[in-house]
Amino acid sequence: MSCCGGRRAAQRTSQPPQPAPARERTSSGVNAAASMRGNPPLRHVNFEFNGVKPIVVIGPATGTIYRFSAKGLRLAVHAADAPSLVSVPGLRPVL
């Protein structure tokens, strides 16, 4: 068996860990990462944006980025993030 002279171990420790890609929901309401993997949609709550200027909200439970860019826009928000988004001005849950 050959030896790499310790280079393999040095290479492992010299590379910083790569962050996981952020999940993002936009006006389509589809989680792009989940749809590419063929996973079934997650349970969600629809929110409607009634603000004047676009906002970006990061779901505290899932880390999903929600972009509300136009008045009347509805997005599907993961059920775990919904309780926090209720308190955001300009957003309201819809049935």
Residue-wise pLDDT for 26-61, tens only, equals: 554 444 444 445 556 558 999 999 999 999 999 999
pTM of the model: 0.57
Handedness of CA 69, 89, 72, 26 (dihedral sign): positive
Tell whether the model's pLDDT for residue 79 goes beyond 50.
Answer: yes
Annotated domain spans of the chain: 18-94
Q: Which residues contact 52 (CB under 8 A, 6 or more apart)?
A: 71, 90
pLDDT over 80 at 90, yes or no: yes
Share of residues in the chain with pLDDT > 90 (%): 54
Question: CA-CA distance, 93 to 12, in Å (whole number)?
Answer: 46
Give the SS3 label for residue 86. coil
What confidence score (pLDDT) does residue 39 get? 58
pLDDT value at 95 more than 60: yes
Length of the chain: 95
